[in-house]
């Protein structure tokens, strides 16, 4: 992707995907001080500045490279806004955590990833899923992100958002139903029926 305009266009397609990952990574204690959209914007700007460093040739490698940039920007944001800026455990956990978040998001998808075309199709589905998640009501979006990107239990989510377990289960159920409906409407090649 040598053409800067083409590169920018491809990178911008990942904005919703990165936003969902970033939202899932901001520690609860820093959510008032760190904005996911700011971290994503920094990541995209860095990607544009470092375009010559990108060595991949497809959406899958671009997604991995952008996740890596997002991961480092998230670590920096947490470090800047945290009183414990040299917490080694946080530095070690965050890179693994970003990959786990991406896998959790992709875990909402049931897709065979045995061929390059399946990898590409899954990357496109991840982008569509991220767009659909961003369109959900905030409480449903937050519950889904906590469940699928942070692997929190229903009880943990309930404690974090000050709701009952039943209320959280309802948020998850309605959120997943809304995702199915949204994805089916967007003609995501029967993608809406593949959510958990």
Tell me the per-residue pLDDT of 158-186, one tens digit each, with 9 for 90 and over.
998 899 999 999 999 999 999 888 888 87
List of residues 6+ apart from 131 with CB closer than 8 A: 16, 186
Other CB atoms within 10 A of residue 66 CB:
23
Q: What pLDDT sits at residue 108?
A: 54
Closest CA to 99 of 137, 151, 135, 51: 151
pLDDT tens column, 99-128: 555 555 555 544 445 555 555 566 677 778
Residue ranges with strand state E in 6-138: none
Q: What pLDDT sits at residue 100?
A: 57
**Region 32-46 average pLDDT:** 92
Domain boundaries of the chain, sorted by first residue:
4-194
Mean pLDDT of the chain: 78
pLDDT confidence tier of residue 190, bands split at 50, 70 and 90: very low
CA–CA gap between residue 63 and residue 80 (Å, rounded): 25
CA 171, distance to chain mean position in Å, is: 19
pLDDT tens column, 86-101: 444 444 344 345 555 5
**Region 37-56 average pLDDT:** 92
Closest CA to 176 of 126, 141, 138: 141
Q: Cα angle at 161 between 100 and 141, to 5 degrees?
A: 55
Is 42 a residue whose pLDDT tops 90? yes
**What is the gyration radius of the CA atoms in the chain, in angstroms?**
17
> What is the value of pTM for the model shown?
0.64
Structure token pair of residue 86: 């040299």
Q: What percent of the chain has pLDDT over 90?
A: 26
């Amino acid at each position: 992707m040598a053409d800067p305009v083409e590169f920018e266009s491809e990178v911008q397609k990942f904005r919703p995907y990165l936003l969902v990952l970033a939202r899932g990574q901001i520690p609860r204690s820093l959510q008032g001080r760190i904005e996911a959209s700011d971290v994503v914007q920094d990541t995209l700007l860095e990607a544009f500045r470092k375009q010559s460093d990108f060595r991949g040739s497809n959406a899958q490698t671009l997604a991995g490279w952008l996740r890596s940039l997002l991961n480092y920007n998230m670590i920096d944001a947490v470090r800047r806004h945290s009183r414990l800026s040299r917490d080694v455990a946080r530095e070690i956990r965050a890179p693994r955590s970003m990959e786990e978040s991406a896998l959790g998001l992709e875990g909402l998808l049931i897709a065979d990833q045995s061929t390059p075309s399946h990898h590409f199709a899954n990357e496109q589905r991840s982008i569509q899923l991220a767009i659909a998640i961003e369109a959900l009501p905030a409480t449903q979006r937050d519950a889904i992100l906590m469940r699928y990107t942070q692997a929190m239990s229903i009880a943990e989510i309930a404690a974090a958002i000050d709701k009952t377990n039943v209320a959280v289960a309802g948020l998850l159920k309605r959120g997943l139903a809304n995702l199915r409906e949204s994805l089916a409407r967007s003609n995501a090649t029967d993608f809406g029926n593949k959510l958990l």
